Structure 1
């Protein structure tokens, strides 16, 4: 493939965004449709179709999502060392398509097989497209945060459509006159497969505009030897799928896996750090601070796919501002809707503040993210004061809770991805992006545990009693998020010193 542009030509773009960002925007958008469409169905499918109880479904959800994000670290490592970002992304897309097709054929019989393909595929796909976005900018380009915020809007456009459409079709809230009841789940998983194909085709058509971004790191190696490494990676990723099936289908293995993958990733990073300067290592330590706090953020935020899914199914009304909507569809997509509405605005606010030299540093932005998170969960808690005698409360107020949380996510997640690329030496950028998503894996893991505890406390209760238990649990999460936000703001001067010139 001809490399039509140099990295300098790409990075010296005029205006707010490089044109390549649009291409990656659409590829990521359709991939996130596939991912979030399936994510939003997991707990409800396990409870209503696989007959799991709420506690086990939350644990299984946490385990499944933890493995999804844990493998982004491994995928990032193979991209850095062998495949390059592009081939890694393509291979991951193929595996995700295979997993979605398997689930569409028979989700009841092949659930864990399909999920396992998706886990490996996401590991190869997700960290690498984010890293390519970072490479579109020079290290000192203050437009980077706005670019990641815009990219994150694409993530959420896919999540909005997929998050609502898939669960609504599966529940019969949409297309019920067209899709037979016994095929609703098949069609819902089938949508994920179709849109993943579109994502991959979009990326294939736009590679030539990326210059040398994402090409193989082994171009200097003899071609035959490089091919051997690449084929071994492909074969190895297929060979490990039976192991993933075993691990995912038994959440008891999750604890062991999480005890191992985190320390191993840190040891690997320490091994790489011996080759960097003291200045570079200080920046990596700062990056690890963000990684650790993001674990807490995602443990709370990812209640959306676990306990909040069950809360939405049983305890929420079915209208928003008088419009009839699927409560779980709203739970899955409200956050994405608000990100789409406000991501560009938040990015422009950062640019406006930067020009006036009043933009808060990344640590303070993280702290603000936690404060918004605390506010949103307090709104979830407050829904109990609007419940009727049947334990059904306001979907309007619940949606407002997601509105508040959205600003927390916009302060943390796109800024976090940007920070990983700014603070990491190029040699380990994909690995650090993988560690960022590995933090999400631990967040998902703890989200499952938290959700299981809430669900366990509400077993054998009336619907009203369940609502009170869930709401009180969300109040506790709000308090913990508030503490974390204040702590981050307090330690921001210390972390800022580690970051040096990076803002």
Structure 2
């Protein structure tokens, strides 16, 4: 290996050089993910003729399985594949899924989505884990590094979130793309950018030293017996077997209910089992991580209305008074736009506060995240005061809500990735990162149920009535978020004791 782990972690300045290459790979993967995410509900309603309530539940099932499989992908990476092979295999599956959707999205929608679900599960948690390993334990620069990483990947979310939905809807490139091929091209973009992501990662590996190697590799930091090839190939075969299973479970959302009722308790039982094999100090840290994980479910349940109910709200209840931009495109990409500019600033703010020994601890940052989220949803509620009699309100004011909500996300999500790596034992990092994303799966699941409830309008109701139903619902969600933020701040001394030396 050209670099040892100590040489990588002993970097000068604010950021390790490898973080730039990793977020470039993640940036294109997020283009694929957010591009698809932004199209799902609109495509199901406009092209597959699903009812709004049904589309929300289908969306929730899809997103829940995406994040649930990050737990499985993280587990297989820890035990069998290693971060690098897991990431590459996941990327290949995402490319296959995107190509299926690009070929015939109307007839093979759920098949293509199922490939991308399993692929994302192998890709997403493991690149985040590799970022965490660029830092020594308790390096105060880690939070800033994850914030920068978060900004970089959101460039992909910005591009994918806006371009895919606007191409599919025919808002842009209408003279270049025939009407009957718009959705094919929109889904096809995802395949192209994933190829770029994997090519970049092939070159990135040269500078990663021992980070992400397969368990049992001769150069791995943790020495263990080599993994038999049949186990590695068995993981690949098993993941392909999951594809038709996921296809059925996403198409029939009641099966998703059964899955979510089962996977959470089983995961907790497995975590508690792993806790019996660690020291008391390590066990306390894992319990602290569990507090972050459980509260994040509520956060994502409220936050992730953007792909469901807010997608419908944007299509029906928003005008184009923001530079003539498409409301759905802004809804999908607005948060990413703000993250790109705000994340480096927030990251440097944490460093500035840390040097003056006044940086809030991570649990208080979480609490602030909830409070900003709640305030953002109160701004969404206030959009009703700018509506006309047709139930159409200001995209400008809606975008202000996205800005406030994004401040909440920046207090929680990149810090969450960082704290999972800090609180995990070395041999459980992939699993704990997977549990972090599994909590997101439950958040997506809850978000879909909330969105389905908001989308249930009375027969004969007007577009203005729908606006009032949505905005009143957003007011309630804002209240729940603020209460959760206050609770987190109140319990922060207790959680801080569990975290011990971790800041």
Q: Normalising by the residue count of structure 2, what TM-score does the alignment of the two structures yield?
A: 0.98
Pick which of 356-365 and 260-269 moved more.
Answer: 260-269
Aligned twin of 2:232: 230
Residue 283 of structure 1, CA deviation: 0.4
Residue 222 of structure 1, CA deviation: 6.6
Decide which of 21, 26, 29 is 1:28's aligned counterpart: 26
Structure 2: give runs of 5+ residues left out of the alignment: 218-222
Q: Secondary structure at 1:205's aligned position in 2?
A: helix
The superposition leaves residues 195-242 of structure 1 with CA deviations (integer Å, 9 ceiling, x where unpaired) of: 01111111011101000000011336776x621111111011112211
Partners of 1:128 and 1:98 lie apart in 2 by 20
**Superposed counterparts of 1:54-133, under 5 Å:** 54-133=52-131
Aligned twin of 2:313: 311
Q: Secondary structure at 2:305's aligned position in 1?
A: helix
Aligned twin of 1:329: 329
Structure 2 CA distance for partners of 1:15 and 1:458, relative to 1, 3 Å = farther
Partners of 2:398 and 2:18 lie apart in 1 by 37
The superposition leaves residues 21-71 of structure 1 with CA deviations (integer Å, 9 ceiling, x where unpaired) of: 000010000000000000000000000000000000001100110000000
Pick which of 391-400 and 232-241 moved more.
Answer: 232-241
Structure 1: give runs of 5+ residues left out of the alignment: none
**Superposed counterparts of 1:205-220, under 5 Å:** 205-219=203-217
Partners of 1:497 and 1:337 lie apart in 2 by 36
8 A contact 1:286–1:499 mirrored in 2 = yes
Q: Secondary structure at 1:324's aligned position in 2?
A: coil
Residue 457 of structure 1, CA deviation: 3.7
Partners of 1:241 and 1:474 lie apart in 2 by 35
Pick which of 168-177 and 266-275 moved more.
Answer: 266-275
Partners of 1:420 and 1:440 lie apart in 2 by 14
Residue 265 of structure 1, CA deviation: 1.0
Pick which of 456-465 and 335-344 moved more.
Answer: 456-465
Q: Secondary structure at 2:456's aligned position in 1?
A: helix
Moved runs in structure 1, 4+ residues, more than 4 A?
A: 220-223
Aligned twin of 1:162: 160
Partners of 2:134 and 2:460 lie apart in 1 by 54
Partners of 2:55 and 2:334 lie apart in 1 by 23
Partners of 2:163 and 2:459 lie apart in 1 by 30
Residue 319 of structure 1, CA deviation: 2.5
**Superposed counterparts of 1:244-283, under 5 Å:** 244-283=246-285
Pick which of 236-245 and 412-421 moved more.
Answer: 236-245
Partners of 1:218 and 1:266 lie apart in 2 by 27
Partners of 1:462 and 1:152 lie apart in 2 by 40
Partners of 1:109 and 1:189 lie apart in 2 by 14
Partners of 2:458 and 2:484 lie apart in 1 by 27
Aligned twin of 2:346: 346
The superposition leaves residues 61-103 of structure 1 with CA deviations (integer Å, 9 ceiling, x where unpaired) of: 0011000000000000000000000000000000000000000
Aligned twin of 1:302: 304
Q: Secondary structure at 2:357's aligned position in 1?
A: coil
The superposition leaves residues 1-39 of structure 1 with CA deviations (integer Å, 9 ceiling, x where unpaired) of: xx2100000000000000000000100000000000000
Aligned twin of 1:366: 366
Partners of 1:468 and 1:305 lie apart in 2 by 19
Q: Secondary structure at 2:396's aligned position in 1?
A: helix
Partners of 2:179 and 2:458 lie apart in 1 by 30
Residue 460 of structure 1, CA deviation: 3.6
Q: Secondary structure at 2:455's aligned position in 1?
A: helix
The superposition leaves residues 279-333 of structure 1 with CA deviations (integer Å, 9 ceiling, x where unpaired) of: 000000000000011000100110000000000000000121xx11010000001
**Superposed counterparts of 1:278-297, under 5 Å:** 278-297=280-299
Aligned twin of 2:412: 412
Partners of 2:216 and 2:149 lie apart in 1 by 28
Partners of 1:458 and 1:407 lie apart in 2 by 35
Aligned twin of 1:449: 449
Partners of 2:230 and 2:256 lie apart in 1 by 32
8 A contact 1:458–1:469 mirrored in 2 = no
Q: Secondary structure at 1:283's aligned position in 2?
A: helix
